[in-house]
Structure 1
């Protein structure tokens, strides 16, 4: 990083850190509120596939990884991909 960029970087980083610390209780509350829905989804996967809850959790994680990766790279594709490296 160029020497003249440090003040702007530190200001951005401090703001980002403060925002994340403010949002931490909100993220925890959201996770606690959504936990029953995720538990029902994992239980339903286990019952449908006739597997243990641990295996159903693995299937759920795999499906979430596929959806997340597809969304990420699909968005990059629609937005024109990565910028060229110069």
Structure 2
């Protein structure tokens, strides 16, 4: 931890980058994805940086749809979100 983030404000896992990786591969900005998804750009940013600890499964599915992911990518993104939620909830319970 670099002193700028508290352990409770961020949950770092490799899965945090799934949304960003798919978004960038489709050359979408956070704003464009947020607009298509119907959320704020801040929410997308928080997902990508690990500051959103428990994204709702329906929201993750909607993001996957907005990114036009194929079925394998779709499931990968959902699995990553579930993993992030489990890891972060486990840390918060310490």
TM-score, scaled to structure 1: 0.36
Tell me: higher relative CO, structure 1 or 2? Use CA pairs within 8 A at least 6 residues apart. Answer: 2
Of structures 1 and 2, the larger Rg is shown by: 1
